[in-house]
Amino acid sequence: MALTPGFDLFQLPEEHQELRSVLRDLCEKEIAPHAEDVDRNARFPEEALAALNAAGFNAVHVPEEFGGQGADSVAACIVIEEVARVCGSSSLIPAVNKLGTMGLILKGSDELKAKVLGDLVNGEMASYALTERGAGSDAAAMKTRAVRDGEDWVLNGSKCFITNGGRSTWYTVMAVTDPEKGANGISAFMVHKDDEGFRVGGLEHKMGIKGSPTAELYFEDCRVPGDRMIGEEGTGFKTALETLDHTRPTIGAQALGLAQGAYDYAVGYVQEREQFGKPVAAFQNTQFMLADMRTKIEAARLMVYTAAANAERGHADGGGKLGLMAAAAKTFASDVAMEVTTDAVQLLGGYGYTSDFPVERMMRDAKITQIYEGTNQVCRLVAGRQLLAEGRKR
């Protein structure tokens, strides 16, 4: 499903609209019924994984030459958005599969792509391992080391806050190969769950997205074959940043889905709930809240799709650079998600604050979208630096 030259951001092509329709039906039937239990028991959404795998939506971004659907970036965002609309935890299956393999797709050898992406097409999962306890927003300060040993590399160190850690088969891991070169001394590797010296540590106990495990990874003389390095030695940090330019819109899509799900539920609720002898929806202040929520959602959707279309083309349209659009879309959509889900809880009143209704779960899930794949503060820095760089060129 490649983008056509005449791609119109104001009206999605028919194939994208059909994709949304199919996803909406699948999510309502196969994923939504389990969302509350997944959250309440902090369990992995096995039903969602099975449904997405069966329908081929677990990793739609995989190119056709490696057995995938070759879906464009906007289509991938639609998949994530629709899953997030009913279950934030489940949406991290397709989102993190893309995050965990985007660097490989951008810079990896065909042989390595065939090995890893083939597993994803067959239902396996991938994760992205960049963050460390002492290197979060300042990722270049990482300490995990990789030392050459013959034709192999030996990794030592740890990574934290790894989404779907322990469930994935493959991990894109950033490690320092030359400490004298700073960020230019970082390389990227594909690590397999069965590699000698690799193990998964304990899981984090989180506010939201409880169905998606967030784990610590340990590398203790972990031996990785040399042909599993992504790109050239020393290019790993650049690959990591390029990856985020392509995947930040997917976090925007997740945020967008959470906002849409909360909005949809709130609209239905206020039309049924009565106070002072009439539906809550009849009050003007309710209508103003709903209007603001919908306005923000529609604006966020346009930003996310525009950023995704830019990533697909590999350049920026509309006067912005790829990194700027990706960071801005992720920031705006995640802020909207937090605002809309909070308003949805408010519209439900006391019921909204209970776990008997889904909007409180959506509000908790929405918070993380302001934090991961670059906190919104870091994303604003990225956008600001790009704006200044553009200004200097004029």
Q: Which residues are catalytic?
A: 373
Side-chain-facing half-sphere of 157: CA atoms under 13 Å? 23
Instruction: State phi, psi for 231 to the nearest 5 degrees.
Output: 70, -160
Q: Are 173 and 219 in contact (CB under 8 A)?
A: yes
Report the C-alpha gap between 166 and 151 in whole angstroms.
27
Helix 359-367 and helix 322-348, axial crossing angle in degrees, nearest 10? 150
Pair of tokens at residue 173: 């891991």
In residues, how long is the chain?
394
Q: Any idea which residue has 């050459």 for tokens?
A: 148
Report the C-alpha gap between 252 and 275 in whole angstroms.
35
Side-chain-facing half-sphere of 196: CA atoms under 13 Å? 7
- Indicate if the alpha-carbon torsion angle 230, 307, 374, 45 is positive or negative: negative
Query: Environment class of residue 319 by beta-carbon count within 10 Å: exposed (0-12), middle (13-18) or buried (19+)?
Result: exposed
Q: Look at residues 224, 281, 309, 330 and name the one whose alpha carbon lies nearest to residue 9.
A: 309
Q: Which residues pair with 175 in a beta bridge?
A: 187
Report the C-alpha gap between 169 and 193 in whole angstroms.
5
Q: 374 — alpha (psi -120 to 50), left (phi > 0) or beta?
A: left
Q: Are 103 and 242 in contact (CB under 8 A)?
A: yes
